[in-house]
Amino acid sequence: MAQRALLVGINDYKGISDLRGCLNDVTNMRNILKTYLGFTNKDIRVLVDDRATKENILYRLKWMVKKAKPGDSLYFTFRGMVLRFVTGMETSLGTIWMN
């Protein structure tokens, strides 16, 4: 069974007050996945601050699910301010909706 994770953290926002702790949350979650759940570095993708764009997040979500099979472990977390967008992503397992 495969394991894949996408961890997104944004502390640095342009034009509004920055957050604190989001990157720490991502680092802590990465350590938990590796230490307690058997994930390896190649199983985990991390996007932080200016690299955590909508396009990059969707690209990495597609990476995460494109070869997924029943029984695989997939984990996604976002730490930051929530800005709403809706998209449907077609996968071999069906459509994944995020909003």
The arithmetic mean of pLDDT across residues 27-37, rounded, is 95
pTM here is 0.80
Sign of CA dihedral 42, 45, 48, 50: positive
Taking residue 89's Cβ as centre, other Cβ atoms within 10 Å add up to 14
User: Mind listing the pLDDT tens digit for each residue in 40-58?
Assistant: 999 999 999 999 998 999 9
C-alpha to C-alpha distance for 14 and 34, rounded to whole angstroms: 32
pLDDT at 99: 40
Instruction: Return the higher-pLDDT residue of 91 and 15.
Output: 15
Q: Is the dihedral of CA 46, 26, 94, 88 positive or negative?
A: negative
Domain span at residue 8 reads 3-98
Burial of 90 (0-12, 13-18, 19+ CB in 10 A): exposed
Average pLDDT over residues 9-33: 89
Tally the domains of the chain. 1
